[in-house]
A and B are shown apart, each in its own frame.
Chain A
Amino acid sequence: MLVSKKNTRTVVGKVITYLLLITICFLFVLPFLWMIRSSVIPLHEILKMPIVWIPENIVLSNFTQALTVLPFGRFFMNTTIILVLSVMGILFSGTLAAYSFSRLDWPGRDIVFYILMTTLMLPSFATLIPTFLGWRSVGALNSYLPLIIPNWFCGGATGSFSSVFYIFLLRQFFMGIPKDLDEAAKVDGASHLRVYFQIILPLAKPAIMVVVLFASFSIWNDFLSPSIYLNEVEKYTLNLGLRLFSGMYNAQWNLMMAAATVVTIPPIILFAFGQKYFIEGITFSGIKG
């Protein structure tokens, strides 16, 4: 008797859990689905009341129209150039620093590391104005240099996200690689540079993947820096293009949703393929931090 009562209770509990989860997840994904739906529906149908949930005939003309009004192909290229060069920079300075902070013994090492980490707390607005004035004084406004160069020094802050975070993540991972490996190599006379290239980097591939994904994502997402440094439309990133577009077509929701979809699809694809690394990375930084 007692057992069956307990069983009913667990079954009820399970059903409630599933119902709540399905509801929450549905609400979370609904805006995304609504964007996709609104991007393939003709204007006269999108404004119809009551709402046409699923378009009667799916049209792709919204995309062709949205993409030809503004040079979104160009914006895509611009964003990609900034992204690739920035991520390369983050990997360069991030892995080198992480190697130093995890594998090399030098006096003051940990203090220097923690001082660098304090910049995680630094709001990007606090450094924004002098940094802007600095780039202005060297004539680099309206170029990609202010968006790319800081990343080569792990000194960039994209959004509210400082690049030193990647040093933290990589160092954490490097510390987990057994020390015997590089000790053995050093006995054989290998230099630090060789240990770094031939032992640490190949073993750190998962961590590097996490950094590449996080960094790509935050650069793709960045809005503040491009909006401050870029003022010619040909140099715009996708996000700036999207904002410009919304100013021009603010009542044509089908076109706006088509443009938003175009900007959203690449990170969604990236997420679909790299999901495992995403989850690992977040877990890692959250728990160990």
Chain B
Amino acid sequence: MKNIIVKKSYKDLRSGLLFALPAILGFFIFSLGPMIMSLVLSFTDYRIVNEPVFIGFENYINLFTTEGTLFYKAIFVTFYYVILSVPLGVMFHFFSAILMNRKIKGKALFRAIYYIPSVIPVAASCMIWLWIFNPERGLLNYLLEMLHLPTSQWIGSEQAVVPSIVMIAIWMAGNTMVVYLAGLQDIPKSLYESIEVDGGNALNKLIHITIPMSTHLIFFNTIMGIIGGFQVFVQPMIMTDGGPGTSSLFYSLYVFREGFEHSRMGSASAMSWMLFLIILVLAGLFVKLSRKWVYYASE
């Protein structure tokens, strides 16, 4: 009997590995391998035309200390973007989801419309917003003037460029709302009824039920927002090219230029490892903090 069991699990091991083989190979060839390679490269001077030369920590040191280094600027721009876009996005979409979760007609239509921006390819979205942000002929300034509100140069201004890109990001993230909405629909009605019995109002329901019962989704969307936020690339690449000046030099764009415009592969590898470590530390911190406030229904 025992023999048979052992034999069976061995047979499953073979087919198990065989079925998962493409994915396991993919992990080694396209994830782990490149990660190790880029760590190795980050300690070399490699500009494609020469053989890689080992230079120790020089790439990392240069990043922090070279005169006129744009590292701090890129870090600042990217953090600024994440700090602005993640909480705003989380709150705004949560608010929309609460609205859509009420007993209303045409919920499916509202939800579909809300989702449309996420379906538009980013490159096309950038074109649309370039046009809308156009200071003289654009729709946005025109509408603001109509309402007698102050206008702006939007992506043409050093102060407004990052908030403008944040605005686009929130517009594009309708999927976040769909996640919240699905979660809200899962909250048992009986919980709300018990608040009603106690004479609580809508605000009580929000604070004591809706928010606590959605913490796992807020957690999910925040962590995805952090990971995605540090990788924003297409918007600055197409819309601003990092400008005006360096005011929208997002970290990914910075790495891209170093690697693919200046062909400094060693230093670009060091930069991408820095990015990886930053995301790892922040995501790790966030996960650790989340244990205090995230509630899972299944636990």
Contact count band on B: 35 or more
Q: Report if A286-B227 is in contact (Cβ < 8 Å); known contacts: A31-B171, A32-B120, A253-B131.
A: no
Residues of B within 8 A of A287 (CB): 179, 182-183, 186, 217
Q: Is B206 an interface residue (CB 8 A)?
A: no
Q: Which of A104, A107, A282 contacts B19 (CB 8 A)?
A: A104
Q: Is A61 an interface residue (CB 8 A)?
A: no
Give the most central of B16, B99, B125, B272: most A CB within 10 Å.
B16
**Contact at B96–A263, with CB atoms within 8 Å?**
no
For window 125-167 of A, CB contacts with B under 8 Å fall at 125-134, 150, 152-157, 159-160, 163-164, 167
Chain B residue with the shortest CB-CB distance to A223: B234
For window 24-52 of B, CB contacts with A under 8 Å fall at 24-27, 29-31, 33-35, 37-38, 41
Residues of A within 8 A of B41 (CB): 129-130, 133
Residues of B within 8 A of A270 (CB): 119
Q: Taking chain B's interface residues, is the majority helix, strand, or loop, or is none over half, making it mixed? A: helix
CA distance A127 to B255 in the complex (A): 12
**Contact at B260–A107, with CB atoms within 8 Å?**
no
CA distance A129 to B134 in the complex (A): 35
Q: Which of B23, B38, B129 contacts A167 (CB 8 A)?
A: B23
Q: Is A62 an interface residue (CB 8 A)?
A: no
Contact with B along A1-37 (1 / 0, CB 8 A): 0000000000001100110110011001111101100
**Contact at B26–A105, with CB atoms within 8 Å?**
no
Residues of A within 8 A of B160 (CB): none
**Contact at A286–B179, with CB atoms within 8 Å?**
yes
Q: Is A78 an interface residue (CB 8 A)?
A: no
Q: Report if A121-B23 is in contact (Cβ < 8 Å); known contacts: A130-B269, A264-B121, A286-B217.
A: no
Binds A, one of B54-62, B68-76, B104-112: B104-112
For window 232-267 of A, CB contacts with B under 8 Å fall at 238-239, 242-243, 246, 253, 256-257, 259-261, 263-264, 267
A-B residue pairs, 10 tightest by C-beta: A155-B26, A153-B26, A155-B30, A286-B179, A106-B16, A100-B19, A130-B37, A283-B182, A93-B22, A97-B23
Residues on B lying within 8 angstroms of A by beta carbon are 9, 12-13, 15-27, 29-31, 33-35, 37-38, 41, 96, 99-100, 102, 104, 110-117, 119-125, 127-132, 134, 137, 139, 142, 171, 174-175, 178-179, 182-183, 186, 202, 217, 220-221, 227-228, 230-231, 233-234, 237-238, 252, 255-256, 259-260, 265, 268-269, 272-273, 275-276, 279-280, 283
